[in-house]
Amino acid sequence: MQVKLASSYGFCFGVKRAIKIAQEHKNSATMGPLIHNQKEINRLKEDYGVGIYDSIDEVKKDDTVIIRTHGIPKNDLATLKQKDANIINATCPFVTTPQKIVKKMSEDKYSIVIFGDKKHPEVKAVKSYGDDVHVVLDDNELENIIFKYKKIATVAQTTRKKEDYLKIVNNLILKYKEVRVFNTICNATFENQAATRDLSKEVEVMIIIGGKNSSNTKQLFNIACENCPSSYLIEDEKELQLNWFDNKNLCGVTAGASTPDWIIQKVIDKIQEI
């Protein structure tokens, strides 16, 4: 089986930075999962003693606490600081940008529309910095929103598809006189999505590697499915099934932004054995 890697895949800048921070602070703990990849979190625990706090109540004075790449809500951060803990902020800089935008636009009396998943930790953190903030995944959801202000500002979850964001933006500018649009989808997301789209058009089977709860990985999977019906989302080589590759010769491989190289290589090695 011939394997072809996407031209852009795997760890983004923010994840690489967070992993490096965690490795530099042995026997610390992250506030929630550092990234959306359980196997990498397990490695950090085994090799560096980096644990996870499920609740701020678990934090004690002088503990070293690492803020996850997705950030945490503003009030949680304030509570954490009251604990007199040693706080290390590993929030991705591309995530802190929409936090700052929402804060500034709210101060300027704009209602905020966030394009993203309201259950995602990144979105929860960004939302906490505003006043009249509404989270939508589909432009149809805008119909039922009553905005507090006449001016609207929009940001997007960093890992969403820009095409879907445009639908939200177009809906707003047709109805409101003043709409501020901030493109907060990060470059790494653009590059990985474009590379996945290109590769899925030329291969017979597509393997997307990443956490099942990772937003950006699921986006890659959806993009691959548009062009390659035989696309599969897996977390490691153990999930590969032989029948996926029946009568196929060329397999494309890509990976989400939280997927480490060592997992990707194991998957490639397994596919090449087929």
Please state, in angstroms and rounded to a whole number, the distance separating the CA atoms of residues 262 and 101: 36
156: helix, coil or strand? strand
Please state, in angstroms and rounded to a whole number, the distance separating the CA atoms of residues 255 and 141: 31
Specify whether 226 is catalytic: no
CB atoms within 10 A of CB 240: 16
Tokens 């789209």 sit at which residue? 197
Please state, in angstroms and rounded to a whole number, the distance separating the CA atoms of residues 160 and 154: 13
Cβ proximity of 97 and 76 under 8 Å: no
Selected catalytic residue, list 122, 163, 178, 226: 122
Cβ proximity of 178 and 151 under 8 Å: yes
Which residues are identified as catalytic? 122
